[in-house]
Structure 1
Amino acid sequence: MRWPTTVEEVAALPAAYGAHEARLLQLLRFAGDDPARGPEIVASYVAHRYNGFYVPAIFNLWLWRAVGSAIVVSLACRFLVPSIDRVPRRLLRVYTSVERACTLTAFYGTSSSEPKRVLPSSNRFSSWSTYQVPLLIDGILLSIYLVASFYFTFFHYAFLQPNIFFPDAEDAFPIHQYIRYLADRTAILSFGSTPLVILLAARNSPLSWLTGASFARLQVWHRWVSRVTFGAVLVHATAYIILILEPPSRGFWGMFAKPYLQAGWVACIGGNVLCIASWRRLREISYEIFLVGHILGALAWIIGAYYHVGLLHGQRSHLFWIYIAIAFWSVERILRLFSLLINNTPLRYLALPFSTPFFKRSPSAISLEEAPLIPKSPSPRFAEAEGTIVGDGEFIRLRLRLARKWAASRGRPGSYIFISIPGAARVWESHPFSIAWPLEVPLPTSISSSSRSSFASTSSSIVHLGNEEPEDDVAGPESIELIVKKCGGFTRRLCDTVGRTGDLEGAGGRMRDLRIMIEGPYGTIHTFEKERWVLLAAGGSGIAATVSHLADLAKHALGNTLKTDRVLVAWSIRTVETVSILLPYLLRVQSLFREALPSSAPFIDLHIYLTRPIASSSLPKPASTPSSILAPLLDSAEPFLTLATHLGRPQLGQHIDELLNLGSSEGGRVAVSACGPLGLCDRAREGVRERLGGEGVTTERLIYREEGGTW
């Protein structure tokens, strides 16, 4: 490679070199009266700029071009092929193969949602050695990204011998050049991908809006891009430590001698905190550690990186990427703050005399507040909420009334919200929950008194966290409901609070308000009113997504826009008592369907899979069974559902085949949706993948939607 040897040639170099003519002239002063030394200085300077700055700048440019290309391709797929019906039949098999590979096939193996373990299960550290396998298309693209990142980090260097700045023996590998170029290159690479890391992690990510990718799918990319980014940071720090400690040096304390070095260490520590806090097992043990670690680590990384570069003379042009990252982060936080403000402040306090696509004017109630009881009024200062302990005490049902009426497009099936409790010791906590009962679902005009009393007997206790006495167990069209499982941290404290309140005041008592802030809703909307056959697979609290779909189908039945003939629900639970979660929702849905279709045949086939033995030597036999809990629905003269109880894991493949056979004989497409444990989502996805493409099964007959999420 020929290197420029004059100032004029340097001035003509592309801007990506970041060459500074003033800096070069300053270096040329060291040439003195030796005319041969000037060209060597110029060539050495250009070699440094090329290897350390130009190559990574071009890599960053192509990285963002690739992101732009992915957006364009995704938009083309979404707008040019908006529905299967518009795909020419000749291309349907091709389209099915592409869909199968892009959304259903794991990169290797059959598991894409559930993490795999590096160490055997018998090893006590196996749970700390997990990793997630991406989908095939994501795995291919990620492999290209990882290989390209590795290559342009450690290879593709053009050395100059002799080099004025980094002298090495001419017959030996230029180790000093390599280490210095490696240190600078990794810094630029990490800067260029920092905005992408933030963009992929954002709840309001435009990548999700533009590509239609789910939050869980973007998280896979977020984790891998983050690992590459902060891996480059570690290489950058290690390379500079080697250079600083090389004699003659100031020793260990020389690494902290200057302010820009101190800022660099802050950034490096912040990046490591981010990586450690995101460890899957740590997230499972304590979501709070993950959340706080990410907030503090991100602040340390951004602030430290800004001052690390800003304090270096002549390097401020590289702050461009930091400015972009700060802009992405700030806009996303502003949008989240706006969501909190809109969702949790009555309209009259904002004095906004208009409606927007995101909300409508309404005097309805808002989030929950720790405050004295407020007189009953149609427009209270604080919202009411009701918490109901159901089953064996491991679940609660939260009903929330909104500060203002949402637009009809929000809060539909597939949506989830984040809730937090301001004023609590852990004010930073914000936890996601799927919406179980969506908005805009009309109230049933009647639910039999026997059904009501039966439901009351199946609930452990009912706790009212508001200022209104409950009229019945029917939600309003301006309220949403959540199903919360008692796991640990936030959810355990929430369930325990509801339980203690019920013990103190008794069922049906008037309680103080509980202040809950709502952020969202987020998520990708999936509806199945146009599908003739629907399989809804759920596990545990994942039944929230199933309930949301059933309510949405009932709403369409009332509007005479429902084309669905049958819904098969496969629900995996541990204990029989958990069935009581579903009863009030099925009563509501039954009433709505009876109003729309008075003489209809059973609409729901409910298959309950018990993964824990009903009775054993160490477990007492339960006093109730699924059929006894759901008796108000099964004892009807015209039963709304059929019930089957099984032991073990759901046999989703058999259920898919059953619906496909109905589709073959009677026509119509089968839609499969899964929400719950990651293993359940993998089995549902794999069941659909195995059947697509075989025996003439195309996306015209079978589709899959996954609503499981990872955080």
Structure 2
Amino acid sequence: MGEPTVVGIALSNSALDKQLRASRAALYPKEVVGVIAGLIAAVSLFHVLNLFYIFLTRPAKRGAVSLQRIPLAVADVTRSIGFRWTISFGLSYSLNLVEVALTAAYISLLFVFALVNTTSTTGIKFEPHYFGNRAGDIAASQIPIIVALGTRNNIISWITGISYIKLSYLHRMTARVLCVMVWLHALGKMKTGAPATLPLVRVGLFALSSLALLSIVSIRPVRERAYQFFFVVHCVLVLMFLVATYVHLKDIHMAYYGILPAMILWGLDRFMHFARIIIFNFGYFKPTPSTSEDYDASVDVLSPQFLRITLRRPSHFRWAAGQCSYLSFPGVSSWPFEAHPFTISTTYGPDPSPSGNKLIFYARVHDGFTRKLRDRATEGEKFRVFLDGPYDSPPALVGYSTSILIAGGSGIAFILPLLIDLIGQARRGETTCRRVVFVWSIRESENIHWIKDSLSQCLHGFVPGLSVDVQIYITGKYAEGLFPVDSIAEKIEFSGSYSYGFSVPGVSVGIGRPDLQTLLGEEVQEASGPVSVNVCGGRSLAEAVMKAVRYPRPMDILRGGHTVSLFVDGSF
């Protein structure tokens, strides 16, 4: 008899073919996971070495070329090209070159291992028995990685120092590649004649349909314009996919392979989430709770587009400047477990903040939850709120001689605590930073009052060994009427109380957009050591900053020039 055929394709089912298929299907997924684990380990090692370098390095002066600085020059070139050059897709979507490279490498890794050595002993290339089951095994092995990339309590973020918000791109990318890999698995089974009436096949198709629909509704336009819809649909479809995949793998005794580890990771994340909710909001769970005034949040409407949320800080709540927390407002949200991330705008410890035992959050008003919160806040009521956090991996501003902090609009919520923390460290003698440049671009002059009190408080008094330059730019179309006509073209400096109520030196207010190219170039050239640039405030602002620092400077660094680190907050 000849080889069996399905849809006109000759198939190989010899004992040797079965042995080869089984051994490769067992080995190749493990090798894929091994490659990914090796990459994560390499990034983690680089993160640790970079921290050691930041803490131990000493400023150098420019001079002759030094070969000992080659590693620094290589690192600077890699950062400049990999993270600061982007490729645009459409009008509002862009990826840096590292993200493009990781995407291409991940796709290649999975499909090479799925399709390599799929020629049967009889010479049939891409024989469906070979790649069908193997693609399914590789897909199953990726589920725990995808879950790990998508959780708030993110083990990959902990060991690599990469913010879980920034890892969300990898979470979405790997999930979409997983969807294609599952389709390849389904194609292989169809080619081998697997009957669609089998319960195993039906539940597999149900899992595939859930994943495919999830990939469609998770595109950026849906997330940005209807986030609450996306969030609810995401939760439902993920649950459907995981349950269906568990049943599918359980029938072939492979539930342990991918789905159970993923469920364990998800369960640990949920356990830590609810543990934080109970620990940090214990007053609400006491048998005899205290009065609501002790725990409820107050919401101040600073402008129709901006809110300030204030609540009491739990005594055991610790955080780093720039971290965020999730807040749940059961009386405002559409459903009880709805939570939203907000950056903590106060700093922990002995700092110049006027609110040592309070947590303050600034929120920009969008459609949906924040709009409902603003409408309710105008009535002057307080709100029951559940605090969960802190999360995120903000930049460690240690070991730098110059720190440049750039905010646009509501991005001040992330940048302001970095400034307060740096000044607090300088007053305590805990920092090597000698200069801080703070740039805030806003549309209307009234926005200055959002942070005037906090900024004046932290700038008040002498800060030993630290030069602080605060530059505020008003970009709105009505800004010109605020100043003399002959002063509009240049940055205008004020002093004393006339400078929008600032009674401290070092604050300047100007009209127009800041010249970031010139500002950053001058600060890097004049710096006495490594430079840290941090930005938050929208894609256009981030792209302008990246453009200003994207060009490599290998020869300058070899001669003693200083490296430039860039941190772009991923919440915009």
Give the TM bin, normalised by the shorter chain. 0.7 to 0.9
**TM-score between the two structures when normalised by the length of structure 2:** 0.84
- The 2-side partners of 1:202 and 1:242 are apart by 36
3-state SS of 1:607 partner: strand
Shift of 1:527: 4.4
- The 2-side partners of 1:590 and 1:697 are apart by 36
Aligned equivalent of 1:413, options 316, 321, 324: 321
Partner of 1:451: none
Letter in 2 for 1:662: E
Aligned equivalent of 2:71, options 95, 99, 111: 95
- The 2-side partners of 1:158 and 1:637 are apart by 75
Aligned equivalent of 1:431, options 328, 340, 353: 340
- Select the structure with the greater relative contact order (CA < 8 A; seq sep ≥ 6): 2
Partner of 1:44: 14
1:180-191 paired onto structure 2 within 5 Å: 180-191=129-140
Partner of 2:526: 662
Cα distance change of structure 1 residues 239 and 698 upon mapping to structure 2, 3 Å threshold: farther
Letter in 2 for 1:581: W
Partner of 2:39: 70
Shift of 1:69: 1.9
Structure 2 residues not aligned, in runs of 5+: 1-10, 61-65
Letter in 2 for 1:275: S
3-state SS of 2:336 partner: coil
3-state SS of 2:407 partner: strand
Q: Deviations over 1:193-250 (max 9, x none)?
A: 11111111121111111111222442232222212111111232344456559xxxxx
Partner of 2:276: 339
Partner of 1:453: none
Partner of 2:374: 495
Which entry has the higher C-alpha Rg, 1 or 2?
1
Cα distance change of structure 1 residues 210 and 228 upon mapping to structure 2, 3 Å threshold: same
Partner of 1:388: 300
Matched, 1:145 2:106: yes
3-state SS of 1:105 partner: helix
Matched, 1:480 2:359: yes
3-state SS of 2:254 partner: helix
- The 2-side partners of 1:609 and 1:111 are apart by 28
Partner of 2:89: 117
3-state SS of 1:387 partner: strand
CA contact (8 A) 1:634 1:640 kept: no
Partner of 1:640: 505
Shift of 1:303: 0.7
Partner of 1:582: 451
Matched, 1:199 2:199: no
Shift of 1:697: 7.5
CA contact (8 A) 1:633 1:639 kept: no
Aligned equivalent of 1:671, options 509, 513, 532: 532
How many residues in Structure 1 have an aligned counterpart in Structure 2?
A: 549
Letter in 2 for 1:133: L
Cα distance change of structure 1 residues 70 and 92 upon mapping to structure 2, 3 Å threshold: farther
- The 1-side partners of 2:560 and 2:383 are apart by 46
Q: Provide the identity percentage.
A: 21
**TM-score between the two structures when normalised by the length of structure 1:** 0.69
Letter in 2 for 1:146: I
Shift of 1:286: 1.7
- The 1-side partners of 2:560 and 2:372 are apart by 44
Shift of 1:435: 1.5
3-state SS of 1:488 partner: coil
Cα distance change of structure 1 residues 188 and 343 upon mapping to structure 2, 3 Å threshold: same
Cα distance change of structure 1 residues 630 and 560 upon mapping to structure 2, 3 Å threshold: same
- The 1-side partners of 2:532 and 2:110 are apart by 39
Letter in 1 for 2:313: L
Partner of 1:535: 404
3-state SS of 1:425 partner: coil
Aligned equivalent of 1:297, options 234, 237, 258: 237
- The 2-side partners of 1:160 and 1:375 are apart by 74
Cα distance change of structure 1 residues 401 and 317 upon mapping to structure 2, 3 Å threshold: same
Shift of 1:49: 5.2
More off after superposition, 519-528 vs 554-563: 554-563
CA contact (8 A) 1:602 1:640 kept: no
3-state SS of 2:17 partner: helix
Partner of 1:548: 417
1:240-279 paired onto structure 2 within 5 Å: 240-241=189-190, 255=196, 257-279=197-219
Aligned equivalent of 2:262, options 325, 343, 351: 325
- The 2-side partners of 1:615 and 1:375 are apart by 43
3-state SS of 1:189 partner: helix
3-state SS of 2:417 partner: helix
- The 2-side partners of 1:396 and 1:628 are apart by 28
CA RMSD of aligned residues (A): 3.7
Letter in 1 for 2:319: G
1:434-445 paired onto structure 2 within 5 Å: 434-442=343-351
1:576-615 paired onto structure 2 within 5 Å: 576-591=445-460, 593-594=461-462, 603-610=468-475, 612-614=476-478
Partner of 2:53: 83
